């Protein structure tokens, strides 16, 4: 007989999400002289400012992801950023790492705590300053990975795993990948022109020794006017005469994201207006050398857990680490390359992919699309993950 003291599962809702504009990594990028933890602080403060009905002391947890957890991305960044943001010191926090799906995992982890009853409200997000902390900084892979042939040598180089996907799916040509990349750039440009992106960007103070203080107010990475002819001329750095280029891949970027999650009943009690409800989530492992197929099994599992079919999904936010990885997903599920349900605002090929932060960008964009499309009931956020994984979260529209 079940004990009355065991909490029953509660509905978890996404209340609000924001992000900094994403910058290009490197000495000339937006955030070249800005600290990663200060970017997270900006996001947390903006979430509190935008939701005045949420008393800061009601936040029960802060989970922040970073792939490279050293320097200004170390020191248990969820806790340190919460203190720096001025949240009450009674609010705990922690750090998360699942490479590209760090922020997504921060969301699903605190969502489990909310569903179980351990939390009422939580902040989850991610940060990656790839200019300060290049992918793989300080990593020391165990020699057994290669000596015992546990993974293919290409598994540790993301661009090579994308070339492997082109080998596995010969129907996905370079031209098809480039065509998809142009579409992503065009959709991002239209989303900006229509004012769809700006409402969820946090203007972020930046400074350089040369120019002094400034304000980052829009993404630095998009390249409006990108053409198929321009992309076809780009080099293929991961393989001679290959298929993967800087133009049909996401960039190397800096940025931070965050969102407020709550139990549905607590959101109602506080007067918060949730945008979507978490229906199910799943992570899955695949061969690391073809990590880009990860979203396929994770989506199949999430659909199975939700008792849904792919035909029930009205909007898709897929992280565009590489065009080939998105196209493999679309082919598997029988979806056209230019289906208007898929990344309607464009994706990471345009905006960039600051590793651990990207999962919440997907959610924030889906939430805004839900508000514009009340006839759509279900949407998914999904992404491939380094070392051979995929992650998928299914959401229900509350608009």
- Identify the pLDDT of residue 7: 52
What pLDDT was estimated at residue 230?
Answer: 97
Torsion sign (Cα): 326, 331, 336, 337: positive
Q: How far is CA 53 from CA 13, 58, 261, 267, 367, in A?
A: 16, 10, 14, 9, 19
Is 363:319 a contact under the CB 8 Å cutoff?
Answer: no
* Least confident stretch, 132-136, 266-270, 382-386: 132-136
Burial 375-386 (b: 16+ CB within 10 A, else e): ebbbbbbbbbbb
Of 328, 271, 246, give the one whose Cα is nearest residue 294: 328
Report the percent of the chain where pLDDT is more than 90: 95
Q: Is-catalytic flag, 353? A: yes
Options 100, 129, 166, 259, the catalytic residue: 100
* Single pTM value for the model: 0.96
CA 341 to chain centre: 18
Instruction: Tell me the two tokens of residue 314.
Output: 């009205």
* Dist CA 165 CA 168 (whole Å): 5
Q: How confident is the model over 200-237, as pLDDT tens digits?
A: 999 999 988 888 999 999 999 999 999 999 999 999 99
Question: CB–CB of 37/77 below 8 Å?
Answer: yes
Tens-place pLDDT, residues 307-344: 999 999 999 999 999 999 999 999 999 999 999 999 99
Mean pLDDT value across the chain: 96
**Would you say residue 86 has pLDDT above 60?**
yes
Sign of the alpha-carbon torsion through 365, 296, 283, 325: negative
Give the pLDDT confidence score for residue 4 in this predicted structure. 43
If one counts every other C-beta atom within 10 angstroms of the C-beta of residue 372, the result is 12
Backbone torsions φ then ψ of 172, nearest 5 degrees = -95, 95
Given the DSSP bridges, would you call strands 212-216 and 253-263 parallel, antiparallel or unpaired? unpaired
Give the position of tokens 């999430």: 302
DSSP 201: B
Q: What is the pLDDT of residues 14-67, one digit of tens each?
A: 999 999 999 999 999 999 999 999 999 999 999 999 999 999 999 999 999 999
Contact 388, 155 (CB under 8 A): yes
332 is catalytic: no
Rg over CA atoms, the chain: 20
Distance CA 64, CA 257 (A): 9
Within 106-235, strands assigned E span 121-129, 204-208, 212-216
Write the pLDDT tens digit of every residue in 116-166. 999 999 999 999 999 999 988 999 999 999 999 999 999 989 999 999 999
Whether the Cβ atoms of residue 330 and residue 336 lie closer than 8 Å to each other: yes
Tell me phi and psi for residue 62, to 5 degrees: -130, 115
Mean predicted confidence (pLDDT) in 82-101: 98
The Cα 151–Cα 155 span in angstroms is 6
Main-chain phi, psi angles of 390, to 5 degrees? -140, 155
Q: In this model, does residue 279 exceed pLDDT 80?
A: yes
The predicted pLDDT at position 209 comes to 86
The helix or strand, by DSSP H or E, that contains position 61, with its residue range, turns out to be: strand 61-65
- Cα 179 to Cα 184, 313, 324, distances in angstroms: 9, 24, 11
> Quick check: 1 pLDDT over 70?
no
pLDDT at 3: 40
Task: State how far the Cα of 311 lies from the Cα of 75, in Å rounded to an integer.
Answer: 44
Q: What is the pLDDT of residue 136?
A: 87
Is 384 among the catalytic positions? yes
Tokens standing for 207?
């400074």
Within 13 Å and on the Cβ side, how many CA atoms surround 292?
A: 29
Beta-bridge partner residues of 281: 393
Given 133, 166, 259, 384, which residue is catalytic?
384
Closest CA to 299 of 291, 310, 290, 311: 310
């Amino acid at each position: 007989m079940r004990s009355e003291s065991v909490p029953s599962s509660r509905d978890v809702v996404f209340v609000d999400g924001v992000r900094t504009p994403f910058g290009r990594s490197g000495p000339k990028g937006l955030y070249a002289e800005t600290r990663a933890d200060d970017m997270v602080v900006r996001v947390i403060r903006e979430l509190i400012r935008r939701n005045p009905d949420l008393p800061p002391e009601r936040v029960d947890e802060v989970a922040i992801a970073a792939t490279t957890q050293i320097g200004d991305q170390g020191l248990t960044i969820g806790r340190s950023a919460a203190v720096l943001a001025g949240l009450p010191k009674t609010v705990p926090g922690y750090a998360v790492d699942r490479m590209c799906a760090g922020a997504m995992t921060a969301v699903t982890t605190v969502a489990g705590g909310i569903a179980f009853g351990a939390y009422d409200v939580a902040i989850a997000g991610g940060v990656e300053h790839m200019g300060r902390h290049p992918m793989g900084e300080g990593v020391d892979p165990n020699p057994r990975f290669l000596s015992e042939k546990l993974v293919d040598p290409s598994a540790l180089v993301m661009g090579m795993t994308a070339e492997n996907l082109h080998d596995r799916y010969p129907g996905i040509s370079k031209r098809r990948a480039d065509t998809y990349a142009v579409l992503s750039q065009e959709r991002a440009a239209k989303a900006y022109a229509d004012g769809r992106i700006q409402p969820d960007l946090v203007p972020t103070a930046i400074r350089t020794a040369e120019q002094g203080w400034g304000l980052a107010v829009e993404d630095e990475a998009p390249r409006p006017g990108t053409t198929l002819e321009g992309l076809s001329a780009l080099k293929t750095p991961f393989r001679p005469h290959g298929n993967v280029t800087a133009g049909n891949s996401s960039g190397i970027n800096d940025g931070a994201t965050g969102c407020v999650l709550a139990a549905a009943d607590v959101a109602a009690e506080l007067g918060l207006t949730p945008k979507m409800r978490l229906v199910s989530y799943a992570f899955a492992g695949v061969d690391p050398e073809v990590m880009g197929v990860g979203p396929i099994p994770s989506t199949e599992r999430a659909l199975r857990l939700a008792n849904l079919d792919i035909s029930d999904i009205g909007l898709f936010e897929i992280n565009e680490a590489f065009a080939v990885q998105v196209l493999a997903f679309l082919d598997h599920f029988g979806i056209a390359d230019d289906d208007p349900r898929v990344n309607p605002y464009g994706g990471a090929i345009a905006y960039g992919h600051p590793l651990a932060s990207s999962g919440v960008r997907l959610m924030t964009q889906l939430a805004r699309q839900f508000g514009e499309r009340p006839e759509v009931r279900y949407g998914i956020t999904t992404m491939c993950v380094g070392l051979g994984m995929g992650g998928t979260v299914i959401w229900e529209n509350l608009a």
